[in-house]
Amino acid sequence: MDYTTLPMESAPPMDVIMAEREATQESLAKLEKLEKEKEATQSNDTTNGRKIVHIIHSHNYESYLPELKTNVIDEAFHNQINVTLVGDKLAKELEKRGIGAKVEERNIQENLLTRGWVYAKSYDASREFVKEAIANNDDLEFFFDLHRDVLPRENTTVTINGDVYARTIFVVGGKHENYKKNLELAEQLHGLLEKDYPGLSRGVILQKAPGNNGIYNQDLSPNSILIEMGGVHNSLAEAELTAEAIADVFSKFYLEAEKVNE
């Protein structure tokens, strides 16, 4: 395995992450458009009104350099133009395919700042939100924590049928006793992506080594995975194409599983 292509977990200090910085005018216009589309999204309702997918962003300020007025990797953070827009896109595309999805909209980084917590406590903060979501909605079955990687563009970009995608990778924490179920889900989704979108997925990483979180709150559900949605050099549009692809294969996966259970 080429360890230079593994997802990176290091981050700059909180004051750098929380600093105000400018987004491009194109990105701000895109944000306004996405908000309108979000309001207009309609579901085909395969899940009968049930929200079965929970989407969260433990590092919710992670952004993409092409959307910002900076070329500094450690400054690729923004309080609006960030990976949460990719999560919104994923939820929208799932809903279009009849899969009820709910995005956690509370601001985890603001939560850290308010509590005086460091960035490394992001998963502790998001854990509280996930546990609350589980307690409040018995229908939730799948939990996706979306992130953005920091690898070079050549590692995080692929062209499929003329369209440029931000490559994804599934991360499973191996530091809890029930991780094999999470790993099975990640491997199934990777396989489906490889079949329908060859090269889009970089694979599945099992994180058990010292220095990694190694749990990512995945001990809360056997159907919980972390997904890197491209890297810092990808555009929002490229990451959104990937979100659409994941919604495509996941909806097929879910419907097939439902047939088996009937």
Q: Residue 233 is part of a domain; what is its CATH number?
A: 3.40.630
Residue 52: which domain range?
8-261
Confidence of residue 24 (pLDDT cuts 50, 70, 90): confident
* Interval 181-202 mean pLDDT: 98
Whether residue 3 lies inside any domain: the answer is: no
Whether residue 1 lies inside any domain: the answer is: no
Whether residue 170 lies inside any domain: the answer is: yes
Sheet with 101-103, edge to edge strand ranges: 101-103, 53-56, 142-149, 224-231, 168-173, 201-207
pLDDT of residue 67: 95
Are 33 and 84 a contacting pair, CB within 8 Å?
no
Whether residue 182 lies inside any domain: the answer is: yes
Whether residue 214 lies inside any domain: the answer is: yes
**How many domains, in total, are found in the chain?**
1
* Interval 101-108 mean pLDDT: 97
Q: Look up the pTM and report it.
A: 0.88
Quick: pLDDT tens for 144-174: 999 999 999 999 999 999 999 999 999 999 9
Whether residue 199 lies inside any domain: the answer is: yes
Whether residue 144 lies inside any domain: the answer is: yes
pLDDT of residue 49: 87
Residue tagged 């546990």 (tokens): 131
Calculate helix-pair angle for 236-261, 179-196, nearest 10 degrees: 110
Whether residue 219 lies inside any domain: the answer is: yes
Quick: pLDDT tens for 174-183: 999 999 999 9
pLDDT of residue 143: 99
